[in-house]
Amino acid sequence: MKKSTNTRNQSLLQLGLFLGILVFLNILASAFYGHIDLTEDKRFTLTPATKQQMKNLDDVVFVESFLEGEFPAGFKRLQNALRNLLDDLNSMSGGNVSYQFTNPLDGSQEQQAALMEELGKVGILPVNLQVKTDDGYSEKFIYPSVIVTYKGRSMPVNLLENNVASLSPGQDQVVLNNSVSLLEYKLTNAIKKLKSLHKSKIAITEGHGELQPYETARFEAALKQYYDVGRMNLDSFTMVDPAQYRLLVIPKPRTAFSDRDKFKIDQYVMNGGKVLWLIDRLSADLDSLRIAGEYVPYDYPLNLEDILFKYGVRIEPNMVQDLRSSRIPLQVGKVGNAPQFDLRPWPYHPIILPGIDNAHPIVKNLDGIDFQFVSTIDTIKTKTPVKKTVLLTTSDKSRMQYAPTRLNFDIVSEAPPVERFNKPHQPVAVLLEGVFPSLYENRVTENMNKMLTEIGQPFRAESKPTRMMVVADGDVARNAVNRAENKIQPLGYNPYERYTFANKDFLLNAVEYLLDTDGIIASRSKEVRLRLLNKTKARQEKTKWQLVNIVLPLVLLGVFGGVFTFMRRRRYAS
């Protein structure tokens, strides 16, 4: 009896000790945040640049999220991913990241309206989502956005990559998955911008027939959120200093560059300057074609072929035709005296989609980009090591039409023969990185030497390591203008399709990459793979998997219990 009591007391003591250790470990774990990432795609692991960014914080970053409330599972996943990321950032920063989730639809109607108006002023707009219910569909406002605040400065961040409300059920999961993938980049990029006391300067060139300010208004407005942007006439500068202007944007020039201007650009590049070339090789536009009924495109006399060739690319004198294209209104008849229009695919306006396997941070997870009369780009071997990365290509159903040629609307009057579109994946945007050779090596004139002497700058025959990007379409940066309402349309908005393509995101990513020195943009390459359930197969194998998941565990448990009971009886019976 005494031995039984001692055994029972010892067992209780061991149980109490075990529970005490368990409670202590839970208390200890609640004071620290951490995890082990066992996922194949390392979705919960921060990039080195993000870790360094968080370690360098010297004040608290406050993130207010408005993704709160009752919403579909996809948005709940986005909310959970955001919360986990914020916990990771807080842990890595040593407690310098705090956050709060606010439901904008809480409170009275007056309070909701006041908050919605306040959010609208800073550019945070709701997504009007259709949610399926037992009675059909109901509309619900969701705010997939946050406001990041650091040292009294704030920046709104949209977490959603596209308008889910306008997508099919299969597509919305892809968009939400892309949004989850880009959470780290968007938050750390916003923190980086808020930490920077001085905005980098970007110069948009003029004086060579470039796009007018009203044509690049949306692009410039988007840049001005993060950079100091201004117009530059190269004639007004002796030379361009990369320390002052970190990036030159050359948007669709239409008249010739003098040797003097090219020399300024060349030495700007040689000293580490970055250039975004947005070049139309041929003159072609829809308005001219509509007025005349037919049109013969001609070469713009840009005088840039030699400098681009020296840097490693050649824009061909052709125009791409692509079966994956946007549509234009075409008159197909008359009803009485009124013309009747129909939207028809216009192969000269290709919709360029980044390849599925293209993991470059500039184009990864981007929607389609609206191009107009785009040419193809060839890459050329250079004297110095220059890495050439093709960022965007045409679809697998494309071809080229070389100048001189005659344009008319006959190609859309009937379906074009598919077999003729046999030149797939033609490059239309190329990134160049490395050490560039100077166009003017052994060609420096007395006047050029004088220009360098005035600013005390030596001639350089090879550049410092730098970057540039060449896009064979200047209109990619041009926003449409509604003349009737005197209203500037969003960048990438196609008035015929009534859809906003990803032109703005593409250009902002390009600028960000060209100017990025700390590797933050590398987090755009993070991939969270979407493993969607095959609903058809799931319905077909429903009974099978119900048996496997419900009945089989019970059978195994019964077999184990029977064997255990049999062995126990056999042991103690003997």
Joined together, the tokens standing for residue 15 give 């149980």
| Whole-prediction pTM | 0.78
Q: What are phi and psi of 101, to 5 degrees?
A: -100, 120
The pLDDT of residue 440 is: 95
User: Is residue 272 located within the same domain as residue 376?
Assistant: yes
Averaged pLDDT, 28-38: 56
- Check which CATH number belongs to the domain holding 394 and give it: 3.40.50
Give the tokens for residue 94: 């040593």
Q: Within this chain, do residues 96 and 204 fall inside the same structural domain, yes or no?
A: no
CB 209 within 8 A of CB 250: no
Question: Shortest CA distance to 87 belongs to which of 69, 99, 105?
Answer: 99
Do the domain assignments include residue 248? yes
Domain-terminating residue out of 170, 193, 216: 193
Report how many domains make up the chain: 2
437 vs 410: which has the higher pLDDT? 437
Residue 20 located in a structural domain:
no
Task: Using the predicted structure, report yes or no on whether residue 3 has a pLDDT greater than 60.
Answer: no
Assess whether 238 and 127 both reside in one domain. Answer: no
Do 302 and 350 fall within a single domain? Answer: yes
**Other Cβ atoms closer than 10 A to 77:** 15
The amino acid at 13: L
Residue 135 sits in the same domain as residue 239:
no
Residue 249 domain-assigned (yes or no): yes
Q: What's the CATH code of the domain at 158?
A: 3.40.30
- On whether residue 377 sits in a domain, the answer given is yes
Give a yes or no: residue 273 inside a domain: yes
Contact 277, 311 (CB under 8 A): no
Question: Tell me, what's the pLDDT at 532?
Answer: 52
Q: Are residues 314 and 452 in the same domain?
A: yes
Cα-flanking dihedrals φ and ψ of residue 346, to 5°? -115, 100
Helices and strands, counts by H and E, the chain: 16, 28
Note whether residue 34 is domain-resident: no
- The answer on 257 and 134 residing in a single domain is no
Instruction: Say how far apart CA 127 and CA 175 lie, in whole Å.
Output: 13
3-state secondary structure of 204: strand
**pLDDT (0 to 100) of residue 336:** 65
Residues 184 and 221 in one domain: no
pLDDT at residue 343, rounded to an integer:
85
Residues 366 and 224 in one domain: yes
Boundary (domain end) residue, out of 439, 471, 501 = 501
Residue 159 sits in the same domain as residue 217:
no
Secondary structure letter of residue 134 according to DSSP: T
Joined together, the tokens standing for residue 104 give: 């904008």
Residues 174 and 205 in one domain: no
Answer whether residue 82 is part of any domain.
yes
Q: Three-state SS across 376-410? A: CEEECCCCCCEEEEEEEECCCCEEEEECCCCEECH
Q: Which domain holds residue 475?
A: 200-501
Domain for residue 21, yes or no?
no
Determine if the peptide bond prior to 144 is cis (ω within 30°): no
Which residue has 């006041």 as its token pair?
Answer: 114
The torsion defined by the Cα of 14, 17, 23 and 24, in degrees rounded to 10, comes to: -140
């009752």: which residue's tokens?
Answer: 70
What per-residue confidence (pLDDT) applies to 32? Answer: 55
Give the C-alpha separation, 369 to 481, whole Å. 18
Indicate whether 183 and 214 sit together in one domain: no
Mode of pairing for the β-strands spanning 247-251 and 274-278: parallel
Q: Who's near 344: CB < 8 A, 6+ residues apart? A: 327, 328, 329, 330, 412
Band (pLDDT 50/70/90 cuts) for residue 147 is very high
CB count, 10 Å around CB of 518?
14
Q: Which of 193, 223, 255 is the last residue of a domain?
A: 193
Q: Which of 44-58, 90-104, 172-186, 452-466 is most confident?
A: 452-466
Give the tokens for residue 219: 């692009």
What's the mean per-residue pLDDT of the chain?
84
pLDDT at 18: 77
Sign of the CA dihedral 508, 513, 519, 522?
positive
For residue 169, pLDDT over 50 is answered with no
Can you list the positions of beta strands (E) in 242-337? 247-251, 274-278, 282-283, 294-295, 298-299, 313-315, 318-322, 325-335
**CA nearest to 104, candidates 75, 65, 78, 77:** 65
Mean local confidence (pLDDT), 543-566: 82
